[in-house]
Structure 1
Amino acid sequence: MPAPEGAPARGEGTAATDAPAASPTGYTLIPPPGWELIPLREGTEEALRALVDGAVRDLPEELPRDRRTEARMALHKELHQAVRQAREAHAHSLYLPVRRVRGHLLAASFVVSERLRAPGSGPRDDLVAGLLRSPGAGREAEATEVDGVAGVRTEGVVAADPARGVEHDSRHVDYVFPVPGPEGGRWVTVSFSVLTGEGPHGELADALVGLFDAVMTTFRWRYA
């Protein structure tokens, strides 16, 4: 799976080198300004610590010391929760906004993960056709293309889940497409989610979904 290992360059993932020569060894994409990659295999704690330190430095200088400490602890907790949820989803890389908008960090993220097809399935695994026919309750699906590879884009609203620390509904967009190469059977999912005070269909959520769609136009496979 094209995924970060260690501390890759900004916006890039790497993969194991035992894949066939015609298969990708990784991917590149251009994250939005103010977004950073969090590796989920190695270097996670170092990356989180750097993000927290940077966010605290950006706070107003006149903010009392105890408020800075509270902000540091709260952000540390939120980032670790985002990492935990990404790992539960078997993600290989996590992208988070680190630049404040109107004084606040955006409650948004996107992750890159892998899914495998069932043995004996066709070359497209019927995954695209299946998602287009039945994308899931409350979701819409459309055919798409990522770096010349046919896939599917689904979008919908995920209900709040207080048991997992999610107090409000959130907007989700998923791109699912195959990894090119002779072996077949490897699929990638790039999943975006955003939660705003305006609700899942507010102007800010719409703008961030548009931003994520623009990011996906920059996705490129990297070959050895």
Structure 2
Amino acid sequence: MTESDIEQQPPAAAQTAPHGYKLILPPGWARIPLRDGTKEALEKVLFSHMWEVPEGIPRDDAMRFRLEARRQVEKQARAARRNGGLDLYLPVLPRGGTFLMASVIVAEMPIGQYGAAPPEAVLVQLVAEDGSGKSVAKVEVAGAPAVRRFYQPTPDAEKLRSAPEAVQQAALPACRVEYVIPVVDDLGRWISINFSTPGDGDLDSEFTNVLVELFDAMVGTFRWSYE
């Protein structure tokens, strides 16, 4: 089980508000804190596993794979931190000789978006914000109301076919799931838990669906921490 702090508000905030959250990770996953200790965590938790490469990558390409993987993770961590990220969770060990392409980001949401509106009213508004490629549902997280949003983009295949190979790789569609959760007893504060994966390249495949189910199970272990 991992435990993470959330930024404390001034003393005016309710005394019963949580100090952080707890989350149980699947085997082979690791937490990268984004507010403090990011570099140390990347070195200790993630990059120490870089000697392992997926099956099918030639030995001569192993170093290039490690360097590119490291660059991509550092880039992802920087972007998540700029967008209010608290923690980044990544699979760092291969399963059955295969590295999972997936990530989970826990972030604080912009406080001023809905002001100090009651959480129930905000949740109703979020559920109403349905759109193309997105489905929204009201759920429970840690015994309290929350919202789950599921995104499945439909990229323009014709444009991708005419794009350079590097652009095609970067534009691989990703299945995204987001949970939006009000911080209990702290009106106006919200966090999101965001999951993204290209799966096996087929967003409707059984493999991709299993990864989404794995993320939903992770969120099912979410608890607030008062320690």
TM-score class normalised by the smaller sequence: 0.7 to 0.9
Residue correspondences, number: 211
CA distance 1:48–1:131, change in 2 (3 Å) = same
Show the 5 A alignment for 1:181-192.
181=185, 183-192=186-195
Matched, 1:170 2:181: no
Q: Report the Cα distance in structure 2 between the residues aligned to 1:132 and 1:199, rounded to whole angstroms.
A: 27
| Aligned-pair identity (%) | 33
Q: What is residue 3 of structure 2 aligned with on the other side?
A: 12
Q: Which moved more, 1:10-19 or 1:187-196?
A: 10-19
Bigger fraction of residues in helix = 2
Q: 1:139 aligns with which of 131, 134, 140?
A: 134
Q: 1:148 aligns with which of 131, 143, 146?
A: 143
Q: What is residue 219 of structure 1 aligned with on the other side?
A: 222
Q: What is residue 75 of structure 2 aligned with on the other side?
A: 81
Show the 5 A alignment for 1:117-128.
117-118=112-113, 121-124=116-119, 126-128=121-123
Tell me how far 1:104 sits from its aligned partner: 3.1
Question: Gapped runs of 5+ residues in structure 2?
Answer: 161-165
Tell me how far 1:133 sits from its aligned partner: 1.3
Counterpart secondary structure, 1:73: helix
Q: What is residue 4 of structure 1 aligned with on the other side?
A: none
Matching residue's letter, 1:72: R
Matched, 1:179 2:179: no
Pairwise CA RMSD of aligned residues? 2.7
Q: Report the Cα distance in structure 1 between the residues aligned to 2:223 and 2:121, rounded to whole angstroms.
A: 23
Matched, 1:32 2:26: yes
Tell me how far 1:159 sits from its aligned partner: 5.7
Q: Report the Cα distance in structure 2 between the residues aligned to 1:111 and 1:52, rounded to whole angstroms.
A: 19
Tell me how far 1:102 sits from its aligned partner: 4.1
Q: Does structure 1 conserve the Cα–Cα contact (< 8 Å) formed by 2:23 and 2:221?
A: yes
CA distance 1:119–1:147, change in 2 (3 Å) = closer
Q: What is residue 38 of structure 2 aligned with on the other side?
A: 44
Q: Report the Cα distance in structure 1 between the residues aligned to 2:54 and 2:196, rounded to whole angstroms.
A: 25
Q: Does structure 2 conserve the Cα–Cα contact (< 8 Å) formed by 1:100 and 1:106?
A: yes
TM-score, length of structure 2 as denominator length: 0.81
Counterpart secondary structure, 1:56: coil
CA distance 1:120–1:141, change in 2 (3 Å) = closer
